[in-house]
Amino acid sequence: MNDTTPIEDTRVTRRYFAKFERITQHMVRVAGVMEAEGALTKNEVEVLSRYIAGLTYTFRALSLKYLFAGRVSGAGKLMFDFKESGFPAAAELMEIVGDQEIPTRLQFALSQRLYYEELAQGQLFWLRNDPDAIWQGEVGGRKEFLLHWAVYDSQVNLPTIYLMDVEDSGNQALPKDARRWPEVQAQLMAQSQGDLKLLTIARGFDIDFPDLHPKRLRRFHLGPMYSHAFTRQSGPLREVLAQAQAPEGEDWALVWTEEDLIANHAELQKSGWFGRVERQIFALDPTAGMGADTGATATRRAIMLPARPYQAREELGPPGLRDVRKFVVSPAGRVLVY
């Protein structure tokens, strides 16, 4: 079970959300660097940026909701996961459109009005963000789509984004298929659990939809967020942030993990008495320590952090962070990769 705690003070609540406002801006820049490196396509960066923007709007709405936490009776207090993810508790997103009593104090009333106006604008990162499809072209008579969806994982209080490259050999394009598309959306959302391996999700999809062929499935975990001022996580990053003694606004580090599963070829397998269907054979990483048990072709971890904590990391040199890519951001927003 996750350890959550309320933020009691108005000023601390505002500092917490100001920190995330900067972090989400830097996330978009990191995605841009990955596109320049060829690690992500333009469409994939647009998808990731859309979900990151949704996080920004969601956190902005929550910051308005709790603008007077600790000052006004009934204003409520933000619950966040201080021991694991560093993000707001998933329950906050579940209650984001909950009913509020009519406030009696003008400033609190204004903050709640701004909160609801932010919600009304839409494009937030919700607890469940249903699958959408982007046309990628046509190869060999098959239509290619990039499917994407996202969830706020309530088990670990982290935003998680999924990307799936799919070839469609059906007669009608998947997003326009009134039968298949709702079934695909429902199945993918039901399988969007952090404790399920990518291999399990992809194989289940491959079996349930014979004319849809998953060629690649990726899962991005945006977090945990570490902060010496706010969180109490264990591990080498805690020591790094303590050593850095960074000023307000630069006391943070965000871990970005990508799981990647790739189909390296397909085989025709028997189906029923006379039928044959195409099944994807996925490549599994034999060097990942647990071999096939990882359920992915590769797992890549990166850390995004300001310059001051990065300098502390270099001085301490903790073994657990040596082989992790570092995206170092300056106060002006420039991103350097190490």
Angstrom distance (rounded) from CA 307 to CA 218: 29
- Name the pTM for this structure: 0.89
Selected residue with higher pLDDT from 104 and 204: 204
**pLDDT for 170-221, tens place per residue?**
999 999 999 999 999 999 999 999 889 999 999 999 999 999 999 999 999 9
pLDDT for 293 equals 72
H or E stretch covering 24: helix 10-37
**Above 60 in pLDDT, residue 97?**
no
**Above 60 in pLDDT, residue 289?**
no
pLDDT for 264 equals 92
Residues of the chain with pLDDT > 70, as a percent, come to 91
**Above 50 in pLDDT, residue 99?**
no
pLDDT for 257 equals 95
Task: Pick the range with the lowest mean pLDDT from 141-150, 266-275, 278-287, 317-326.
Answer: 266-275
H or E stretch covering 310: helix 307-316
| Mean pLDDT across 94-109 | 57
Task: Pick the range with the lowest mean pLDDT from 155-159, 186-190, 266-270.
Answer: 266-270
Confidence of residue 315 (pLDDT cuts 50, 70, 90): confident
> DSSP character for 238?
H
Confidence of residue 2 (pLDDT cuts 50, 70, 90): low
Coil, strand or helix at 253:
strand
Cβ-proximal residues to 282 (8 Å cutoff; 6+ apart), any chain: 199, 202, 203, 261, 262, 263, 264, 297
The pair of three-digit structure tokens given for residue 180, joined into one six-digit string: 């298949």
**Above 50 in pLDDT, residue 166?**
yes
Angstrom distance (rounded) from CA 220 to CA 160: 6
Residues of the chain with pLDDT > 90, as a percent, come to 60
Angstrom distance (rounded) from CA 45 to CA 199: 24
The per-residue pLDDT of the chain, averaged, comes to 88
pLDDT for 321 equals 80
pLDDT for 248 equals 83
Confidence of residue 1 (pLDDT cuts 50, 70, 90): very low
**Above 50 in pLDDT, residue 102?**
no
Q: Count Cβ atoms below 10 Å from residue 83 Cβ, excluding itself.
A: 15
**pLDDT for 214-238, tens place per residue?**
999 999 999 999 998 899 888 888 8
pLDDT for 288 equals 56
pLDDT for 106 equals 54
